[in-house]
Structure 1
Amino acid sequence: MEIGKTNHGLRGTVKIPGDKSISHRAVLFASLAKGVSQIDGFLEGEDCLSTIACMRQLGVEIDQNNDQVTVYGNGLDALQEPARVLDIGNSGTTIRLLMGVLAGRPFSSVLQGDDSIARRPMARVTGPLKMMNARIDGRQLGDLTPLHIRGGELRGIRYHSPVASAQVKSAILLAGLQAEGVTTVVEPHKSRDHTERMLKSFGISVRSDEHSASVQGGQMLHPVQIHVPGDISSAAFMLTAASIVKGSDCVLENVGLNPTRNGVIEVLEKMGADMTFLNERMAGDEPVADIRVRFAPLKAITIEGGLIPRLIDEIPAIAVLATQAEGTTIIKDAEELKVKETNRIDTVVNQLKELGAEVVATEDGMMIHGPVRLRGGEADSFGDHRIGMAMALCGLISDQPVSVNGTEAIAVSYPNFFEQLEELKMND
């Protein structure tokens, strides 16, 4: 896919697709509830469709009509042993949350994904689940897929996670609902809290604070109606595009602004972006707004510490922003980037360098000097949806177009990314 400059900027209004993290949880939690749950705004991305496919294999009836999903749950005890391997595709969220569910089920199951998943570490989840009495086997002592889970009677634990990870926390809490006693997860920084919010919507009592979340075993989920807000991680790429392309004036509709996810908004504000929040409201338990964003001169900042878990998925977009900001932007404390779909530190840095950026990789992040004129050229997603979108944005401001290989990976989280981008370009 080749992306080139616009004549007068990006203009118009687009509706951001449903939040990937919330879509996963909505389908999975509704499958564990006893009764019919309705979901609207579901993200029709490949990752979320993997969650639907896996829950169907576990015996759950699910109807999907575009972004409308109906789940006919029969409760945790009604889940059935799958007849074949559960294929989670490229979805790290699917496999890690499913591990928490399957750890307490009285049957065997095998989880496997694509080549990217086969390289991603699973011990951060299998380790604490084993402490709860789950029996899990896999390559490298259960750190790599395929994973074989033989469910059984679980006991609650108090687990101090070395990383702030919503996937780790969610898996342990889901296992905790099936365990004897109380299960608590303590984190170094608060990770995204969609699980805690949504479990409460399903009738689960969850105790949480800035560093921990706890559930009592034996609680039952009850069906609800869920409105999925737009994904701020997807919105980050459109926010970036409008902020760096001269003459831009865009409105992004229905953007989720969960305070554990809005780090990219804080970064944009500190860098001097021109944003206005319109029609602020609640979609269920999640804050939502429309965002008007216009081109503005940007300045470099340092991004570190507790801010990192709130924007870890948006760093590829932020790196592109930084190439157009005055000064040197420093991103640190972001080691977690190394265990995403790709090593996003090396991939972002190497790709941006090829396009003419002044950027240096560090052990836990990167340093980006700006503003620079990107020369354009050829880039690759390396099978990583967020890398693909970040490289596409570079084409909007490069002297020559950017040709991005592997753009099919973008369908994981933003199936209509290029259609919306072209729509905004045509309105210039």
Structure 2
Amino acid sequence: MNYVTISPSKLKGEVIIPPSKSLSHRAVIASGLSKGTSIIENVMFSQDIIATCACMEALGVIIKKIKTSTNIYTLKVTGSSNLKLLQNEIDCCESGSTLRFFIPISLIHQNNVTFKGKGKLISRPLKEYYKIFDKQGIEYSTTSGNLPLKVNGSLKSDQLEIAGNVSSQFITGLLFALPLLKDNSTISITSNLESKGYIDLTLDILNKFSINIINDNYKKFHISGNQEYKSRDLRVEGDFSQAAFWLVAGAIGGEINCLDLNSQSLQGDKEVIDVLKRMNATVKISSDSICTKVSKTKHTVIDGSQCPDIIPVLAVLASLSEGTTEIINAGRLRIKESDRLTAITTELKKLGADISEKQDGLIISGKNELNGGEVDSWNDHRIAMSLAIASLRCKNDVIIKDSSCINKSYPTFWQDFKKLGGKINEWSLG
């Protein structure tokens, strides 16, 4: 078990924000579905991206990795037109995106495949796909609804209905697969669509690889069949969900300039900028960077429906801001890598925060500083990194248990924390 001990400090300096994990997933998949060879620059090999690359390779895609800096690679991706599985078991590790994207992709042709996973992924919901399997007569079996999932059959062009308030990943998975089927399809959204930003990223990537989808106001998606992905070169932009940690860190305890961010990005987690501004943080935006400085921040209302991944670190910001902040429409955080509403509430309370949990949100009364103490990451990368940011305004050291979980999305987080002046000691027990 790995731990970090963090002593309170101010962070200052520049940090190169890691490439977007969401865009990296999509770029690797779209290039792998294309005829020809694509060059995808600026990809960080987190555990989730490693899982997606492995799944593409299982479909016959050739991926050559060229290291350009610490854990950053350029990928030369040669697509496969056959998409016949080379192996019958697919291990998605702990990546929900990989699992939900690859289930329909694996069924573009007739295949018999078993999907495996680890940790919380084993029990994350897949019922939206099970409904499609039942409708289309695709054989499948699970262990009481959980992984491993065994599927035998092929996806058919269809008029499909998907709930929009469980995960946008189901919609993205279908948007990848349906254009390659023979006939036209539609996807109708049966409830309010949350995380629209992720759908925008998918549609943008598909368009870049010559796939055309008609978006009818996010209520219905019209997909022509017999389309063809065309290879192209692409550079992945910086990740706003990872930048959020440093932008909050700058606002509560330092001055941090986040580099390689596209201020015109389609990423939904760009919402962090608007939240920081509403909370009176000093935010300076340039063409390719965003800087925050220590500020006297105040309360607001934060809607988590479109930006669930940044809610844990925004809860840290609220805990150290004047007044009472309410986080609403965040019920989907309960089905992430951990129950993030319970996790962040439990651990911030240990540090001395005044935070309470609702069914779909949080109520947080801010303090000038927290106490510190020992906390648990819940094996959730976003909880671990959020607690690290909270340490900047604690009286005493913060010890984070199971700190290596950051490898899921941001393997160099602790290195960047140190480079910015963080006082941190990593150690292992047992």
TM-score, reference length from structure 2: 0.90
Q: Deviations over 1:29-84 (max 9, x none)?
A: 11111110110111211100111112112221111123211111122xx1222324
C-alpha RMSD of matched pairs (Å) = 1.8
AA aligned to 2:292 is V
- One of 8, 11, 23 as aligned partner of 1:5: 8
Asked whether the equivalents of residues 138 and 144 of structure 1 are also in contact (C-alpha less than 8 Å), the reply is yes
Whole-Å Cα distance in 2 between the matches of residues 403 and 149 of structure 1?
A: 43
- One of 149, 166, 169 as aligned partner of 2:168: 166
- CA 21–134 in structure 1, closer or farther in 2 if over 3 Å, else same: farther
SS, match of residue 396 in structure 1: helix
AA aligned to 1:156 is D
AA aligned to 1:425 is G
SS, match of residue 187 in structure 2: strand
Whole-Å Cα distance in 2 between the matches of residues 178 and 132 of structure 1?
A: 17
Q: What is the match of residue 209 of structure 2?
A: 202
Q: What is the match of residue 158 of structure 2?
A: 156
Whole-Å Cα distance in 1 between the matches of residues 113 and 353 of structure 2?
A: 46
AA aligned to 1:206 is I
Q: What is the match of residue 270 of structure 2?
A: 262
Higher deviation after alignment, 172-181 or 395-404: 172-181
Q: Deviations over 1:133-191 (max 9, x none)?
A: 54332233xx4211112232502214242416320110122232244222224251334
Stretches of structure 2 lacking an aligned partner (at least 5 in a row)? 68-72, 424-430
AA aligned to 1:105 is H
Q: Confirm or deny that 1:253 pairs with 2:259.
A: yes
Q: What is the match of residue 184 of structure 1?
A: 187
- CA 404–86 in structure 1, closer or farther in 2 if over 3 Å, else same: same
Q: CA deviation at 1:371?
A: 2.1
Q: What is the match of residue 426 of structure 2?
A: none
Aligned length, in residue pairs: 407
Q: What is the match of residue 354 of structure 2?
A: 358
Whole-Å Cα distance in 2 between the matches of residues 260 and 392 of structure 1?
A: 23
Whole-Å Cα distance in 2 between the matches of residues 164 and 258 of structure 1?
A: 21
SS, match of residue 389 in structure 1: helix
Using the aligned pairs only, state the percent identity: 29
Whole-Å Cα distance in 2 between the matches of residues 389 and 164 of structure 1?
A: 24
Q: CA deviation at 1:397?
A: 1.2
Whole-Å Cα distance in 1 between the matches of residues 233 and 244 of structure 2?
A: 27
Asked whether the equivalents of residues 131 and 157 of structure 1 are also in contact (C-alpha less than 8 Å), the reply is no
Stretches of structure 1 lacking an aligned partner (at least 5 in a row)? 280-288
Q: What is the match of residue 237 of structure 1?
A: 245
Asked whether the equivalents of residues 26 and 39 of structure 1 are also in contact (C-alpha less than 8 Å), the reply is yes
Q: What is the match of residue 390 of structure 2?
A: 394
Q: CA deviation at 1:426?
A: 6.5
Q: What is the match of residue 70 of structure 2?
A: none
AA aligned to 1:159 is E
Q: What is the match of residue 284 of structure 1?
A: none
Choose between structure 1 and 2 for higher RCO, CA contacts under 8 A separated by at least 6 residues.
2
Q: Confirm or deny that 1:122 pairs with 2:126.
A: yes
Asked whether the equivalents of residues 30 and 176 of structure 2 are also in contact (C-alpha less than 8 Å), the reply is no
- One of 73, 77, 86 as aligned partner of 1:71: 77
SS, match of residue 41 in structure 1: strand
Asked whether the equivalents of residues 348 and 387 of structure 1 are also in contact (C-alpha less than 8 Å), the reply is yes
Runs of 4+ in 1 over 4 A off after TM superposition: none
- CA 191–277 in structure 1, closer or farther in 2 if over 3 Å, else same: closer
